[in-house]
Chains A and B, each alone.
Chain A
């Protein structure tokens, strides 16, 4: 990640945070606003980081994945459905049901990845079309099953949506407990400590997303498997001539990518809210792809790009708290669709290459033929 792009990311984040602080200052202390924005940013960037990592594994091995959106959507549905089945039909306790939901989400992501692999590696289908197939399939399949299982006449759940067993718990980091004694009786100090604590109190998938970014960085750049994966994505013939099984490496990478997209899907229905609605991923799979490209196909680059998109969503969420105090000269921010557009406008700016062009793996999108 070069300085220019890093500077751009920093600038956008500062502007977005700055706007909310400027408006909300009259109601809440800046430190509270900033930490709350930061906490939201990290949380909502989770599916974007995971989606970008999903794309990273596929594309580093030479398979373009524009099906991240569909993989996320289908695994959001099947993870949620799995949790409901485990809880309501098989009678497992809440905790087990929720965690097995995560498992089902990743499993369905893997199966979608496997489908992309079969299409693009074995049958050498154009990879853009293969990804599109997955996106369309996911929309159709989840919409259909959702209707048939829950809303249809004589459907399994008798025409009503049962309560999902819930969402994953927040993991509390005891920052307040440790540092509050140092504040003594200062209320300001205590406010700072509890605010900062909020940034660290995240849910399991959000935490694992950050860990996975660094694990992926290590795996891709410092291990034998990573070297081979990159070789296969750059010049598969060269890899073949030194005895590397190109087909196997690609299958493995695309399936791993699918599992990561599945984890991203689980975020929506098992970590964020305990419900599913058709099309709930709302283009975030494509935004992940933009993050991957802007991050120059590196895990850390993609993650920082995902944080920018996360910040722009955080703007939307946090601004709603301060609707009533938006000053007249910024009245346009009253319109929620103006603010809601920010991530998509950012995507377009980033993809034009104004902020610097990035280079995909040389064999990205090219099927391997001996």
Chain B
């Protein structure tokens, strides 16, 4: 990126959604062959801006030029025509199609060469497969054109997306949170591919909220906050701290402050647990571990390695095939959620909107979902609404839930506040064990800070915490001990002080090492 030739320029992009100004007079430019990171919290407007560039959203005002030509901004077709390609955070791939079919979809034949072609033209899968193989080879992507996409690991699916864009002659590639689903090693691979692409003249817009990655791979960094561009910097003149402050707009504490753990009695003991997933495949395969009062056990691992099923089994939501677990010495294997909850479990589920809340219920009702039937809130079969409301008022204050009132439906709150409602409900009860699955996924830095503090506070009060997270940083900063899950097994357990990112990353990718200490 020696020459600073501008390939893409967006000016004054404004996009309103009902009640939200998602983009407010945003300017953005991209040089040929550079990696330009777009950094910002969830809801800062990054994805909106990219969807505008890609023609998925029509902006209320503003214009975009690609190599000096004005874009129409009304359909992805136009963006593709201008050489803009996008790899979405949630892949836009059809699982039952092959790689070739996914790539050729929408560009089955060369439209510009044959504009009057009939829609019933026969597909030429062979020709496309050859082109895919050639592209894949040229950029070192290693994609099999005949594979069915649903059977590929996410890392490879992402490469299919990249090939899909290259197949359409993309000169500008938008990568939306590409590392969210990858192991550290897969992310390294992606960075290598990104550099290979820029060497060949492709320009990349790299959207992320991960500071470390930005500093590592970007040539320039633009930070967005609340729909506006806050500033542009280079990695040389920035630090994680300075970028975080730009993102949030105030000073933030990136590291979690905590004292050394003082573990006491075993609270949760899991013994050779085996659980099947929705498809009937064994996804937890003989897992054993224990969590003591006053410590945080972090379970690291790439998503889909059995963590979800493990959490569901321990909370009574999924059938256990064999093995057992005890909570405070009581064997609760195969019991329904209520006795487990009553024994002292707090559960912060992975999918807060589907399993954590009833979105159409009020905040107050959501706050008593676990114990509405207890004498505190019920007389016989009648719920004491005044008690429920008083409880809500108290918790909203204590846990700093930002809501217009206790009576608005939970679905109307922001992600961070929804999570606070769950945290308030779960942690305000007398509990002995907290199972927190992906507790900060998709939250803003402020909410993350808050949730982390609460988890550590529970630990310091002598509660056992089982933290399941795909974010290695989160595992590293909260846990006292770390277990790594890979393909349904715990492949290693280490003390936090002995753990390194690199080693954990290797374990997460399935590299066993016999020297690992089963602490």
Contact = CB atoms under 8 A, between A and B. Distances in A.
A370 B54 CA distance: 13
Interface in A222-268: 222-225, 227-228, 230-231, 234-235, 237-244
B442 to A, nearest CB: 19
Contacts of B86: 241
A222 B105 contact: no
B106 A244 contact: yes
B104 interface: yes
Contacts, number: 71
B408 interface: no
A223 B105 contact: no
A235 B94 contact: yes
B106 A242 contact: yes
A292 B473 CA distance: 50
Interface string A260-304: 000000000000000000000000000000000000000000000
Using C-beta atoms within 8 Å of the partner chain, give the interface range for chain B: 20 to 34
A215 to B, nearest CB: 10
B119 interface: yes
A193 to B, nearest CB: 39
B80 A370 contact: no
B149 to A, nearest CB: 10
B56 interface: yes
A29 B416 CA distance: 79
Interface in A202-234: 219, 222-225, 227-228, 230-231, 234
A182 B54 CA distance: 71
A223 B95 CA distance: 19
Nearest to A223: B120
A366 interface: no
B123 A222 contact: yes
Contacts of A16: none
Interface string B60-79: 00000000000000011100
A299 B104 CA distance: 23
B104 A227 contact: yes
B76 A241 contact: yes
Contacts of B107: 242
Contact of A227 (B54, B92, B108, B164): B108
B120 A228 contact: no
A62 to B, nearest CB: 12
B443 to A, nearest CB: 24
Given A224-B121, A227-B123, A240 B56 contact: yes
Contacts of B123: 222-224, 227
Interface string B81-93: 0000010100011
Nearest to A241: B92
A227 B122 contact: no
A355 interface: no
A243 B76 contact: yes
A234 to B, nearest CB: 5
A244 B95 contact: no
B391 interface: no
A346 interface: no
Contacts of A234: 94-97
A244 B119 contact: no
A362 interface: yes
Contacts of A240: 56, 76
Contacts of B41: none
Main secondary structure of the interface of A (DSSP, over half): helix
A120 B277 CA distance: 33
B101 interface: yes
A237 B80 CA distance: 16
B109 interface: yes
Interface residues of A, number: 21
A223 B108 CA distance: 9
B106 A239 contact: yes
B117 to A, nearest CB: 8
Nearest to B106: A242
Contacts of B76: 240-243
Question: Max chain B CB contacts within 10 Å: which of A240, A241, A244, A362?
Answer: A241
A235 B56 contact: no
Interface string B107-135: 11100000000011111000000000000
A244 B94 CA distance: 14
B55 to A, nearest CB: 8
A238 B75 contact: no
Nearest to B119: A225
Interface in B468-490: none
Nearest to A252: B119
A217 to B, nearest CB: 13
A239 to B, nearest CB: 7
Nearest to B107: A242
Contacts of A228: 105-106, 119
B119 A231 contact: no
B53 to A, nearest CB: 13
A231 B97 contact: yes
A243 B109 contact: no
Contact of B119 (A223, A230, A238, A239): A223
Interface string A56-70: 000000000000000
Interface in B4-56: 54, 56
A265 B224 CA distance: 59
Contacts of B120: 219, 223-225
B95 A242 contact: no
Contact of A242 (B105, B119, B122): B105
A230 B98 CA distance: 13
A243 B77 contact: yes
A239 B97 CA distance: 12
A235 B92 contact: yes
A222 B121 CA distance: 8
Contacts of A237: 92
A142 to B, nearest CB: 34
A238 B164 CA distance: 12
Contacts of A241: 54, 56, 76, 86, 88, 92
A227 B164 CA distance: 16
Contacts of B56: 240-241, 370
Nearest to B108: A224
A12 to B, nearest CB: 28
Nearest to B78: A243
Given A231-B97, A235-B94, A243 B106 contact: yes
Contacts of A362: 95-96
A223 B109 CA distance: 11
B122 A231 contact: no
Interface in B191-237: none
A227 B80 contact: no
A126 to B, nearest CB: 17
A210 to B, nearest CB: 20
A360 B120 CA distance: 24
A227 B96 CA distance: 12
Contacts of B92: 235, 237-238, 241-242
Most interface-central of A222, A224, A231 (chain B CB within 10 A): A224
14 contacts: A223-B122, A224-B120, A225-B119, A227-B104, A230-B94, A234-B94, A238-B93, A241-B76, A242-B92, A242-B106, A242-B107, A243-B75, A243-B76, A362-B95
Given A234-B96, A241-B54, A242-B105, 15 more contacts: A222-B122, A224-B109, A224-B120, A227-B104, A228-B119, A231-B97, A234-B97, A235-B93, A237-B92, A238-B93, A238-B94, A241-B56, A244-B105, A244-B106, A362-B96
